[in-house]
């Protein structure tokens, strides 16, 4: 049960929560593929997406100075290259501009989501200390600065920096330590049931699940202290 009167600090997830209104980023990128009429099936795209994520996870391709647009272009390049090399896209079907066009489409999507989330985060930051807990590539500070969010978080716990990735509850414990309050006085806000809500619950935090389209289909028994369908609904939760 959510107890607003006990909340003294908030841990926010970033990717999929603040920058896409709960939508898993594979779904956002797939929408870009559809918008640009890339001739591949969704199943094949998901394989390309997984290849790109694993490549970025294993290799220090993303640098600390890279913005979100830089990172999107790297992801798009990796995906399109994999699709071509594995015979899913012919050279004739791919223009040299396609990776950049995909990245630009996704960046605009993120910008709109963040423009909607920013004033809510600013109001929350006036009342509560905010800490970011994110699976990211080592460039989250550059991303936050690019989108005008860097002043809102008192601390950042980034997987590539601390060496712990969600769903390991230990990464959330680091966030709890940054806030300096008991876990039950902290609420975790995230889009991933498995990577945010489950581990946060395990360490005793309250939870707000921004539920949208995830990577996998839901089983139907997932729950959280509060379940939202849009980031703006946070205003009602905290009476902003």
Q: 87-139, pLDDT tens digit by residue?
A: 999 888 888 899 999 999 999 999 999 999 999 999 999 999 999 999 999 99
pLDDT at 1: 82
* E-state strands within the chain: 9-12, 130-134, 155-158, 186-190, 206-210, 226-228
Residue 107, SS3 per DSSP: helix
Residue spans per domain, the chain:
2-22+111-236, 24-107
Residue 19: phi and psi, rounded to 5, are -100, 0
Is residue 180 scored above 90 in pLDDT?
yes
pLDDT at 3: 94
pTM of the model: 0.94
> What is the pLDDT at residue 59?
92
DSSP 8-state assignment for residue 166: T
CA distances (Å), 165 to each of 75, 126, 135, 189, 228, in order?
20, 29, 6, 16, 24
Tell me the pLDDT tens digit for each residue of 7-64.
Answer: 999 999 999 999 999 999 999 999 999 999 999 999 999 999 999 999 998 999 999 9
pLDDT score for 216 = 83
pLDDT, position 96: 87
Tell me which architecture the domain covering 2-22+111-236 has in CATH.
3-Layer(aba) Sandwich (3.40)
How far is CA 37 from each of CA 96, 152, 188, rounded to the nearest angstrom? 15, 38, 37
Lowest mean per-residue pLDDT among 9-13, 214-218, 236-240: 214-218
Torsion angle of the four alpha carbons 78, 79, 85, 90, in this order, in degrees rounded to the nearest 10:
-130
What pLDDT does 218 receive?
Answer: 85
Residue 234 has pLDDT above 90, yes or no: yes
- Residue 220: the pLDDT is 85
């Amino acid at each position: 049960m959510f107890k607003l009167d006990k909340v003294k600090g908030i841990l926010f997830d970033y990717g999929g929560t603040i920058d896409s209104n709960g939508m898993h980023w594979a779904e956002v990128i797939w929408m870009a593929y559809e918008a640009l009429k890339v001739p591949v099936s969704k199943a094949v795209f998901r394989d390309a997406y997984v290849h790109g994520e694993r490549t970025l996870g294993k290799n220090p391709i993303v640098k600390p100075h890279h913005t979100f647009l830089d990172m999107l272009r790297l992801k798009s390049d990796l995906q399109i290259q994999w699709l071509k090399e594995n015979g899913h896209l012919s050279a004739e079907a791919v223009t040299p501009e396609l990776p950049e066009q995909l990245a630009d489409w996704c960046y605009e999507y993120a910008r709109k989501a963040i423009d909607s989330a920013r004033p809510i985060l600013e109001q929350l930051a006036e009342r509560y200390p905010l800490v970011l807990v994110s699976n990211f590539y080592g460039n989250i500070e550059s991303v936050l600065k690019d989108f005008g969010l860097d002043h809102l978080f008192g601390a950042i716990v980034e997987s590539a920096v601390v060496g712990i990735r969600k769903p390991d509850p230990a990464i959330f414990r680091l966030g709890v330590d940054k806030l300096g309050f008991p876990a039950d006085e902290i609420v975790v806000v995230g889009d991933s049931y498995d990577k945010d809500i489950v581990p946060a619950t395990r360490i005793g935090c309250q939870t707000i699940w921004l539920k949208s389209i995830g990577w996998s289909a839901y089983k139907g028994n997932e729950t959280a202290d509060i379940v939202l369908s849009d980031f703006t609904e946070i205003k009602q939760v905290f009476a902003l």
